[in-house]
Amino acid sequence: MTVKLYDTTLRDGSQAEGISYSVKDKLRITEELDSFGIHFIEGGWPGSNPKDREFFDKVSRLKLANSRIAAFSMTRRPGIKAGNDSNFCALLKSKAQIITIVGKTWDFHVKEVLKTTLEENLAMIFDSIDFLVKKGFTVFYDAEHFFDAYRAEKDYSLKTLKAAQDAGCAAICLCDTNGGTLTSGISAVTSEVAKTLKTEIGIHCHNDSGLAIANSLAAVEAGASIVQGTINGYGERCGNADLIPIIANLKTKLKNDCVTDAQLGQLTHLSHFVGEISNMRARKDQPFVGESAFAHKGGMHINAIMKNPLTYEHLDPRAVGNKRRILVSELGGKTGILLRAKALNYDLSKTDPQTKKILELIQSLEHRGFQFEAAEASFQILMQKALKKFKKFFDLEGFKVVIEKGKNNKILSEAIIKLSVNGIREHTAAEGDGPVNALDSALRKALKDFYPSLEKMKLSDFKVRVLDEKSGTAAKVRVLIQSEDEKDTWSTIGVHENIIEASWQALVDSVEYKLLKDALESFPKNKKGASK
């Protein structure tokens, strides 16, 4: 049995706090999901808003290779015919290949929410599906709150499923809508339903108890052959079942060919792509695809990994498009130092006195608050300086930062920098939105004639963390700066009691890393263009 993947990122996922997709966003995600190999993509609810209607109009023009588009709606309203319901009129115009209808299976909801009779609810389910099937649509039925309904009134909940089956739906999806069912309950109930019905069974879990992934996999083992979820688990409240680890587990643990090996290799890319379009920060610790998913910090772990990766990795990170990372820290021991040195083409050994010197330096700096695992550019500069391989790009003579509050309460920041490059002195000033922005502008202004490539570099993120809050305004702060150019992104770090000095440390590392990266092998040009 090959499990089919049903993605509802564009509908359920868009209900997460902080997410709002444009039609263009939804189309881009659709194309990416199709390229990856998702079987069904739920595009939205055409009867609920103009944006979704526009999406269905435009998505019908795309040439999709792997995916079928589903439109979502609810059963007809009580007391009217399906053909007279405005939601169904919108469904007929949607051009969707599949219609997913959600209906009430819990008698509590029928009485308290729909305010109708149990018999009318059964008729609503049957009539809605029957109407769409006769119009030529493939219909999936989402049994809302099914596991709660089954616990409360088993017989009635099963009657709702049989009504959907008798009406001709192609699949019935059991929904743990409140996300409150334990894995053992999901498994037992899904197994019983699979034996009772002839229709294909699906599973739709929410993550309110932190069990959506485990519950989805348990349902598959109990007989479900369609899994609904969202990319990265986006969704209302605590989110939906995260399709990313579900796909990886189905393929690598349950040996189910829900995707090809090549498609699985794009899993990390898919997660990050949808995250970017959704404007949601990627979770470093996200299983399989997170930046830290295969990152090793402890010295014992690193040592074992280098002998055999299976010692501390449950699969090859390349299988899901990720990569192994060896973190440099006070916990990493000499092996981490050797690996980073090797990546920089430096030949060190465990018995080399320089290796011990670098490790002691890192341990000392981390004791002061540095963390190089998040600032590999700063670590590379540190390594080169410790090995006396670092080329100095400029000499700082001093800087001054002035913050002035002027008219209309406007805050002005100005930085003045004095430095020299190969004996040529520069004295520049620049204003900025804040002191760090002013320093950045002044530093690059002073260096731009010597190093023109700095024009293509910019700061993309700036983070400050207080390390010892009890010290109040005298506390040390850690500054992390993320920089980028047209090709790469890198991070640098600074630590000091003075936030300006901490920022300056990270800022200088960032500029120097850019110049190192550009592999300048000769002295920079002076302002007249002559080589020094």
**C-beta atoms surrounding 341 within 10 Å:** 21
Tokens 């992934």 — which residue? 213
Residues 140 and 245 grouped into a single domain? yes
Q: How far is CA 273 from CA 17, 42, 231, 316, 528, in A?
A: 19, 18, 10, 22, 45
Mean confidence (pLDDT) of the chain? 88
How many CB atoms sit inside 10 A of residue 357's CB? 13
Determine the distance from the C-alpha atom of residue 474 to the mean position of all C-alpha atoms in its chain, rounded to a whole number: 36
Q: Where does a domain end: 248, 277, 306? A: 277
Task: Report yes or no: 56 and 98 within 8 Å, Cβ to Cβ.
Answer: no
Q: How far apart are CA 108 and CA 417, in angstroms?
A: 71
Asked whether residue 37 carries a pLDDT value surpassing 70, the answer given is: yes
Would residue 468 count as lying in a domain? no
Give the pLDDT band (50/70/90) at residue 532: very low
> Does residue 500 lie within any of the structural domains?
no
Is residue 270 domain-shared with residue 299, that is, in the same domain?
Answer: no
Nearest partner of 172 among 213, 136, 144, 130, judged by Cα: 144
Largest interatomic CA distance in the chain:
91
CA-CA distances (angstroms) from residue 284 to 272, 305, 390?
11, 20, 31
Residues 227 and 213: beta-carbon distance below 8 Å: no
Identify the residue with better confidence: 373 or 464.
Answer: 464
According to DSSP, residue 485 is labeled -
Considering the domain architecture, whether residues 208 and 355 belong to the same structural domain is answered as no
Give the closest residue to 339 by CA, choosing from 301, 369, 388: 301
Q: Which residue has the higher pLDDT, 280 or 418?
A: 418
CB atoms within 10 A of CB 150: 25
- Domain check: are 248 and 196 in the same one? yes
Residue that finishes a domain, picked among 334, 361, 386:
386
Cβ atoms 324, 330 nearer than 8 A: no
Q: pLDDT tens across 297-333, in order?
A: 766 766 777 777 778 789 999 999 998 776 654 445 5
Residue 164 sits in a domain of what CATH number? 3.20.20.70
Please check whether residues 30 and 134 belong to one and the same domain. Answer: yes
Dihedral sign from CA coordinates of 149, 155, 142, 227: positive
**DSSP track, 37-74:** T-SEEEEE-TTT-HHHHHHHHHHTTS--SS-EEEEEEE
Share of the chain above pLDDT 70, in %: 90
Residue 462 pLDDT grade (very low, low, confident, very high; cuts 50, 70, 90): confident
Q: Above 90 in pLDDT, residue 258?
A: yes
- Whether 246 is in a domain gets the answer yes
Burial of 301 from C-beta contacts in 10 A (0-12 / 13-18 / 19+): buried
> Does residue 506 lie within any of the structural domains?
no
Domain that holds residue 434: 394-450
pLDDT band for 280, please (50, 70, 90 cuts): confident
Same domain, 311 and 368: yes
Domain count, the chain: 3
Mean pLDDT of 180-191: 98
Cα→Cα distances 416→153, 399, 435, 447, 508, Å: 75, 5, 11, 13, 15
Q: Do 157 and 273 share a domain, yes or no?
A: yes
Q: Which residue has the higher pLDDT, 276 or 208?
A: 208
Ranges 87-91, 260-264, 397-401, 463-467: which has the least confidence: 463-467
Q: Residue 14 in 3-state DSSP?
A: helix
Q: What is the pLDDT of residues 190-242, one digit of tens each?
A: 999 999 999 999 999 999 999 999 999 999 999 999 999 999 999 999 999 99
For 244, the enclosing helix (H) or strand (E) is helix 243-252
Residue 406 confidence (pLDDT): 75
Residue 346, strand partner residues:
none
Given a cut of 50, whether residue 531 has pLDDT beyond it is no
Is residue 58 domain-shared with residue 135, that is, in the same domain?
yes
Query: Is the domain of 26 the same as that of 108?
Result: yes
Q: Which residue has the tokens 């959704």?
A: 278
**Whole-model pTM?**
0.69
Q: Rounded to whole angstroms, how far apart are CA atoms 106 and 114?
A: 11
pLDDT at residue number 294: 85
Mean pLDDT of 63-67: 95
39 confidence band (pLDDT: 50, 70, 90): very high
- Look at residue 465 and tell me if it is in a domain: no
Q: Are residues 124 and 76 in contact, defined by beta-carbon separation less than 8 angstroms?
A: yes
Quickly state the pLDDT bin for 525 (edges 50, 70, 90): very low
**Interhelix angle for 212-221 vs 243-252, to 10°?**
40
> Per the domain annotation, does 255 fall within a domain?
yes
Cα separation, 505 vs 499, in Å, equals 10
> What pLDDT was estimated at residue 523?
43
- Compare 357 and 260 and report the one with higher pLDDT: 260
At residue 426, the pLDDT reads 92
With b meaning 16 or more CB within 10 Å and e meaning fewer, what string describes 264-276?
A: bebbbbbbbbbbe
pLDDT, residue 46, reads: 92
400: enclosing H helix or E strand: strand 395-405
Residues 223 and 257 in one domain: yes
> Dihedrals φ, ψ of 251, to 5°?
-75, -45
Whether 367 and 418 share a structural domain: no
Q: 53 with 59: CB under 8 angstroms?
A: no
Give the mean pLDDT of 414-443: 92
Residues 433 and 330 in one domain: no
Please report which helix (H) or strand (E) contains residue 235, including its range: none
Could you tell me the pLDDT band of residue 380, with boundaries at 50, 70 and 90?
confident
Whether 149 is in a domain gets the answer: yes
Domain-ending residue, one of 334, 359, 386:
386
Those residues with Cβ within 8 angstroms of residue 153's Cβ, 6 or more apart along the chain or in another chain: 106, 107
Q: What angle do CA 359, 363, 368 make, to 5 degrees?
A: 150
Q: Using CA atoms in the order 101, 92, 121, 228, what is the torsion angle rounded to 10 degrees?
A: 0
Q: How confident is the model at residue 145 (pLDDT cuts 50, 70, 90)?
A: very high
Domain containing 410 — which CATH number?
Answer: 3.30.160.740
CA distance 81 to 123: 10
Pairing of β 424-432 and β 411-421: antiparallel
Q: Answer whether residue 462 is part of any domain.
A: no
